[in-house]
Amino acid sequence: MSAQADSNAHTTVDDVEFRALYKKTKYVVDTADGWSLVITRYRPVRQTFPQPLFGEPMLLVHGFSQNRHAWTSGEFVKNLLFFGLDIHILELRGHGKSSLAFQRERAAKFNRQPPADLDWAWDIDSYFLYDVPAAVAGVKRITRRERIFYCGHSMGGILGYGYAGIHPDAFDGIVTIGAPAELGKGSLPLKALAWAGPGINTGIDATLGTLNLQRGAGHLLGQLSAKVFKTAQGAAPKSLRYRYLPIDAWLKLASEALGYAEESPVLGMVRKRITWLTRWDRMSMENVRWLLKEGGEKEPRKVVDQFLRWVRNREIECYRTGYDFQRGFEKIKVPMAIIFGDLDPLASLQSTRSVYRKARSEYLLWRPVKGNSHIELTMGHDIRQICYDIKNLVEYARTHRNRSPSLPKIND
């Protein structure tokens, strides 16, 4: 082996510039119910070092109230591109580039009506029945593949469980990151929110409705208290029933607060103690602030209500069709990796155990990442080991594509 070849064989991801690994494009897929969704593609570029997974297409689907920046705020995409994966990042309806404004623009351009649920009227069923199928079909069409790989974070992983259970031939493999199979199991705060949060507590409903309506902070502060107390004794007026959670605005405020915390020892101590969904020591603060500033999205009331109903009823169900995700776990036979933080209150050993036990995948990884919670799994310091888990799954799937899964021997 020449000195140059030996050097290339030992190249690490840190030795390569991110921009040298891809050519970025975007394309639009249309759903059956009239939405136009944007998929951002990071197409791998041939390098002089080995890329064992070159050209294998993988669809990434973000979680609740997120967008494409959930995957790109850290080096998750870079690590996958280093192996040669062909990355396609879907942004669900109303998120990121698949925005409400984009729908209006497309409607005007093609002289058609905007989607019927454009005004914050969609739910998780919409993501499951329309968005994911359109994205899967779009990636297959663009890459000319019969099967692709799927990777979902949090809600995106839950959608992946459901889709893999009902479409056994869609994927070569599936990866879920921080995706519970039994929402709320082992998490008292989430259970409490499900029974006392939006849609249940009329005071909270009115408060959030007021936030939706207000244009300025002064006007909000002047009227918020009176409206909340006025509606506390009965049902909130229809005008004050919130339509969406303004999570994007809240996260931007959090980004600014973190900036102050870096300069204040007292606020810095407070920040370190707020670790329910994130471990600050596992991430670059620059990346965190960027994600908070650019990666948050509004989430409709119906999406929130459906999540909380899942928690209250201990179920994951598509209510429009009656499809039970949890019953579908045993129909998952493709290679699957279930990755979660050992400190994550949402996706824990308890809340992911059922899908691990029921799935019939021959290759099945169920692994906690030590010292991690929920958010840092796609942007923290332990991304590299997570991406190696993904690499191992894809390599297994590639070598076993044309072989039927082995079945247990049945004695006569």
Rounded Cα–Cα distance for residues 29 and 137 (Å): 9
Tokens representing 356 are 């691990």
Alpha-carbon Rg for the chain in angstroms: 22
For residue 8, what pLDDT is reported?
Answer: 66
Amino acid, single-letter form, for residue 274: I
Record the tokens describing residue 282, joined without a space.
Answer: 């596992």
With contact defined as beta carbons under 8 Å apart, do 340 and 178 qualify? yes
Tokens for 183, please give them: 């929402």
pLDDT at 206: 52
Buried b / exposed e along 7-31 (16+ C-beta atoms within 10 A): eeeeeebeeeeeeebbeeeeeebeb
pLDDT in tens, the chain (412 residues): 555 555 566 899 999 999 999 999 999 999 999 999 999 999 999 999 999 999 999 999 999 999 999 999 999 999 999 999 999 999 999 999 999 999 999 999 999 999 999 999 999 999 999 999 999 999 999 999 999 999 999 999 999 999 999 999 999 999 999 999 999 998 888 888 888 766 665 555 555 555 565 433 443 444 444 444 444 445 544 556 789 999 999 889 888 877 665 555 544 544 454 555 677 778 888 888 888 899 999 999 999 999 999 999 999 999 999 999 999 999 999 999 999 999 999 999 999 999 999 999 999 999 999 999 999 999 999 999 999 999 999 999 999 876 655 544 444 3
At the second CATH level, the architecture of 3-182+321-399 is 3-Layer(aba) Sandwich (3.40)
Give the model's pLDDT for residue 207: 54
Distance, in Å, from the CA atom of 341 to the CA atom of 343, rounded to the nearest integer, reads 5
Give the whole-angstrom CA distance, residue 28 versus residue 35. 10
Strand partners, 153: 177
- List Cβ neighbours of 238 (8 Å cut-off, separation of 6 or more): none
Q: Where are the domains of the chain?
A: 3-182+321-399, 187-239+304-315
Q: What is the pLDDT of residue 82?
A: 98
| Residue 309, CA distances (Å) to 122, 164, 182, 189 in order | 15, 23, 12, 15
- Tokens for 145, please give them: 């593949």
The confidence score (pLDDT) of residue 198 equals: 67
